[in-house]
Structure 1
Amino acid sequence: MKEKLLIVEDEFIVANDLKIMLQKAGYQVVGIAASVAQARKLIEEKKPDWILLDIILKGNLTGIDLAWELREMNLPFLYISANTNQSTLEAVKATHPYGFTVKPFREKDLVVMLDIARYRFNQEKEDLAINQVNPEIQEIEGIIGQSPLLKETIEKIKIVAPAETSVLILGESGTGKERAAHAIHELSANKPNPIVVVNCAALPQSLIESELFGHEKGSFTGANALRIGKFEQANNGTIFLDEIGELPLDSQVKLLRVLQEKEIQRLGGNKTIKINVRIVAATNKTLEKEVAEGRFRLDLYYRLNVFPIQMPSLKERKEDIEILAHYFLKKYATSSKRNVISISVKALEQLKSYNWPGNVRELEHLIERNVLLAKTSEIEKFDLPSIAPAASLEIGTNKIKSMEEMEKEHIMNALQICNGKVSGIGGAAELLKLQPQTLYSKMKKLGIKQEYN
């Protein structure tokens, strides 16, 4: 039986083209609605299986308003929109859609997006059934906390780990994306084999292909020996592509081919090598926006975004701060053989009132440093960084700063404190808990000059 789809789109030409594409792909389109009110009526009458949803509609209500209603009805939906404003994308993500694509799109892209959305929806139903049978969520080593958001993340990790599905881990810097990748590997059948970690932002552009896929001896000047690339090293295991959003477009094409064909070719070689590698990627970027602005390939995005996992920021799970603080206290007191066994109530209140721009990584380094500096068995107070994350709302105005504006301002504040020094001891990279290569990459993207002071 054909799946029934309802299109909610206020531009008739776009909606009609979409209807033709869907019918050609074997779907049954039960109607077109131009407003939320029309959509509600058609949903009640036609009982569609899926909703394709634009954001800007006729009337006072938007597609996002309707999405919250669809969530209540457990009716799956996907967004089709030309709107890539950062605040809009954040509002879209909050509704947990099963897919999002930017207009205009190709028929092939639409079909792939629907296939992936169906997989995600069915997976979610299976997850719910598993939770009803076994509601207890076991902890994962290195991922610490009891907050509802973190429990949801752990649940997703445990569900996807045994599969061979590609995973995209999303979240701010310092939220534990690499730890999540290791957990996925350790809970999979690939555990006896290696997990290879690649920081895409740190790869020199001229050497990306050689690093990922290897090269033959003599393939270019300086290639004095055969080099085995990261994908070959990870054969029968897992490759973790951190900061995937920093990969240049031409390298994205090659990565897509590896995902599709499951084979590589060394630079300078003429032989294809079959590989069996599970790909886990991570980014702190909004990839939908990167796609819309031409910096990330839509087809690669679909391939990677089969099973997204969102790592919550520390400010979203402040109830976990005390648990984390004591965990890191025990860890570093033991490793440094220091007799530091407690944190004062006042010091804990300091931790809970701070906004944690560097997330769990920042908290960990703070505890480690204070364990080493403690003069008694208790940490009595913390000297938290004087820089605070840029306010998201400018006082006296209604303008909300974009994540990019906030990130730029935060980096510039750090550079000012460090007198323009980026790397090394006392540099902005150390203060921000970032790899120097990552910070240089962010500065270049945001237009921050190195000599800034």
Structure 2
Amino acid sequence: MKAKILIVEDQFIEAHALERMLLRAGYMVCDIATSVQEALAVIDKEPVDMVLLDIQLKGSLTGIDLAERLNQRNIAFVYLSANSNRTILEQAKRTQPYGFLVKPFRQKDVLIMLDVAWYLHKQKKEPLSGNIASKTANNSNRSKTGCNTPVLIGNSPAIAHLYEQIRTAAGSNISVLIQGESGTGKELVAREIHQLSDRCNKPFVVVNCAGLPATLIESELFGHERGMFTGAIDKRTGKFEQADGGTIFLDEIGELPIDIQVKFLRVLQEREIEPIGGNIKKINVRILAATNRNLENEIAHARFRLDLYYRLSVFPVNVPALREHTSDIPLLAAHFMQRYAQDAGKHFTGITDSVLKQLMHYGWPGNVRELQNVIFRSVLLNDGPEISRLSVSLPQTADSKDTSLTMEENERNHILRVLEKCGWKVAGKNGAAEILNINVSTLNSRMKKLGIKKPRWYE
């Protein structure tokens, strides 16, 4: 049985167009209210499962005021309007809606949003239980398709909630906006959504929007025909077309210029692209995007389009910082230790309690990526049977042991830090050899002697 819906919208045409969409889809619309007072009168009179709620309404009270009442009554709601005022946008988000729908409404968007919102509301009323491993093993899409991917590591409530969001997103083709600090693993989340979806045997194309030259962004994303501009010697297939049938992951979406955002919005709305100098092409692509920027702030400064933000954030996924799930640090550290020990031809039985204590009492501003790098360097530093000291000095308690390093260990750590800073570029301008002011062959020789190898995630 589908949810019973109340529409709270003071624009007659939009409200009744929305009502017709819902009725055609089999939903029951109990009423249309134009003010907070009218809406509360309906809710007091009959049970309502979900409210589609405009922010600007008749009277002195807004949709945000009504949202607070709905939360108190445990009634699900989705906002209908998009407001570019940063303060209003932040106030709306604080009420924790299940989503936003952008006017003019498209039936497909409305129905998908309702399905997602209702599912999330039911999950909220039935708290999660069990660990991540069992949930992953029982995932139907993974078992049916045979797709395989590394699962998120951790048994904390934060990771359990994240994984439930991933499973929910994987079950549909809605656009997903993945938000989180740098180093939290947003690309891993995107890959997991793809692998748990029915597109897992199709392409997964990653685009780093921050790394695209401004003059080539449109060509990279949408492609071009031969001879359309200087240097266009051959026809180029864009990233969207490469991902046809599968998933495209746009990392650092907040870096896209405004003019490209307009073209991207068309892809989201119409599922079609227009290569430079070419004809419009229909594509079948699942769109995932990520950012560590505050997009509300970007919207307020006219650097990010409001309509694009709402199209992307139909289903937002927030990746927790490592400081929000510190109980997972021992599991993560052990995982990275085993991976890099195998690469280095070493064997460790574990990590000493003193080292774990240091790991647990550090703030990890670089999140999981920083932990990964620390364990990688520590594997090179230690010879076993346990990792008994770290390659870097982390904030320690008064009773922590001395972690002084030898000259050779300090040299290895210094080279590693420089390599990480320049993305493991050894030669050329801004490469590690130039920064260290030594010959490239000398650096390669020192790296070989010190057992420094390029990590797989940089390859």
Distance in 2 separating the partners of 1:345 and 1:286: 38
1:39 to partner: Cα distance: 8.6
Residue by residue over 1:338-362, the C-alpha shift from the partner in whole angstroms, topping out at 9 and shown as x without a partner, is 2333211121111111111111111
Contiguous gaps of at least 5 residues in structure 1: 8-17, 389-423, 438-453
- Is 1:108 matched up with 2:104? yes
Distance 1:275 1:107 in 2: 24
Does structure 1 conserve the Cα–Cα contact (< 8 Å) formed by 2:78 and 2:117? Answer: no
AA paired with 1:223? Answer: A
TM-score normalised per structure 1 = 0.70
Residue 50 in structure 1 maps to residue 51 in structure 2: yes
Structure 2 residue matching 1:227: 3-state secondary structure:
coil
How far apart in 2 are the matches of 1:132 and 1:320? 18
The residue aligned with 1:77 is 77
CA–CA separation in structure 2 for the residues paired with 1:119 and 1:51: 13
Preserved CA contact (<8 Å) 1:51 1:75: no
User: Which residue of structure 2 lines up, in the alignment, with residue 341 of structure 1?
Assistant: 349
8 Å contact kept, 2:99–2:313:
no
2:99 and 2:314 in contact (8 A); partners too? no
Residue 373 in 1 paired to residue 376 in 2? no
Gap change, CA 1:95 and 1:380, over 3 Å in 2? farther
Alignment deviations for residues 376-407 of structure 1 (CA, whole Å, 9 cap, x no partner): 4222233556799xxxxxxxxxxxxxxxxxxx
Deviation at residue 265 of structure 1 after TM alignment? 2.4
Q: What corresponds to 2:418 in structure 1? A: 425
Following superposition, which runs of at least 4 residues in structure 1 exceed 6 angstroms of deviation?
38-42, 61-66, 109-116, 128-135, 385-388
Instruction: Please name the residue that 1:446 is paired with.
Output: none
Mark the CA change 1:335 to 1:386 in structure 2 (over 3 Å): closer, same or farther.
Answer: closer
Work out whether residues 218 and 224 of structure 1, in 8 Å CA contact, stay in contact via their aligned partners in 2: yes
The counterpart of 1:152, out of the listed 135, 152, 161, is: 161
Counterpart among 216, 222, 225 of residue 213 in structure 1: 222
The one-letter code matched in structure 1 to 2:119 is Q
Matched residue count: 376
**CA gap 1:370/1:259 in 2 versus in 1, 3 angstroms:** same
Distance 1:276 1:218, change over 3 A: same
Are 2:136 and 1:138 aligned? Answer: yes
2:204 alignment counterpart:
195
Looking at structure 2, the residues matched to 279 and 158 of structure 1 have their Cα atoms a distance apart, in angstroms, of 16
Q: Deviations over 1:393-430 (max 9, x none)?
A: xxxxxxxxxxxxxxxxxxxxxxxxxxxxxxx9268566
Residues 137-164 of structure 1, C-alpha deviations (whole Å, 9 max, x = no match): 2267241000111111112212322422
Moved more, 159-168 or 323-332: 159-168
User: Is structure 2 residue 123 aligned with structure 1 residue 123?
Assistant: no
- Equivalence for 2:250: 241
Amino acid in the other structure paired with 1:73:
R
Q: CA deviation at 1:32?
A: 3.0
Q: Name the aligned partner's letter for residue 51 of structure 2.
A: W
Measure how far apart 1:3 and its partner are.
3.7
Q: Mapping of 1:206-355 within 5 angstroms?
A: 206-269=215-278, 271-355=279-363
Give the distance between the partners of 2:293 and 2:70, measured in 1 at CA.
27
- Cα distance in 1 between the residues matched to 2:338 and 2:69: 46
1:255 alignment partner AA: F
Q: Which has the larger radius of gyration?
A: 2
For 1:291 and 1:133, locate their aligned partners in 2 and report how far apart those are by CA, in whole Å: 38
Contact persistence 1:231–1:239 (CA under 8 A): yes
Uncovered stretches (5+) of structure 2, i.e. residues with no partner: 20-30, 138-148, 397-416, 431-459
Q: CA 1:63–1:216 in 2, change beyond 3 Å: closer, same or farther?
A: closer
Question: Given residue 174 of structure 1, which amino acid in structure 2 is its aligned partner?
Answer: G
3-state SS of 2:260 partner: helix
Q: CA shift at 1:130, angstroms? A: 9.7
2:45 is the counterpart of 1:32:
no
Are 1:182 and 2:191 an aligned pair? yes
Q: Following the alignment from structure 1 to structure 2, what is the Cα–Cα distance between the partners of residues 133 and 384?
A: 37
User: Aligned partners of 2:366 and 2:248: how far apart in 1?
Assistant: 25
Assess if the C-alpha contact under 8 Å between 2:377 and 2:391 holds in 1.
no
8 Å CA contact 1:333–1:341 kept in 2: the answer is no
Shift of 1:208: 0.6
**C-alpha distance in 2, partners of 1:291/1:111?**
26
8 Å contact from structure 1 (residues 76, 121) kept in 2: yes
Letter in 1 for 2:207: V
- Asked if the contact 1:330–1:341 (Cα under 8 Å) also holds between the matched residues in 2, the reply is no
Q: Distance in 2 between matches of 1:251 and 1:202?
A: 15
For the 8 Å contact 1:314–1:356, the answer to whether it is kept is yes
The 1:4/1:301 distance shift into structure 2, 3 A limit, reads same
Change in 2 beyond 3 A, CA 1:383/1:43: farther
Scaled by the length of structure 2, what TM-score is found?
Answer: 0.69
Secondary structure in structure 2 of the residue aligned to 1:282: strand
Is contact 2:36-2:62 (8 Å) kept?
Answer: no
Q: Distance in 1 between matches of 2:326 and 2:364?
A: 10
Structure 2 residue 97 is the aligned partner of structure 1 residue 97: yes
Equivalent residue for 1:4?
6
Q: Secondary structure at the match of 1:188?
A: coil
Distance 1:425 1:329, change over 3 A: same
1:413 corresponds in structure 2 to none
Q: Is the CA contact (8 Å cut-off) linking 2:136 and 2:151 kept in structure 1?
A: no
- Contact 1:167-1:309 at 8 Å conserved across structures: yes
Paired AA for residue 418 in structure 2: I
Q: Secondary structure at the match of 2:178?
A: strand
Aligned amino acid, residue 158 of structure 2: L
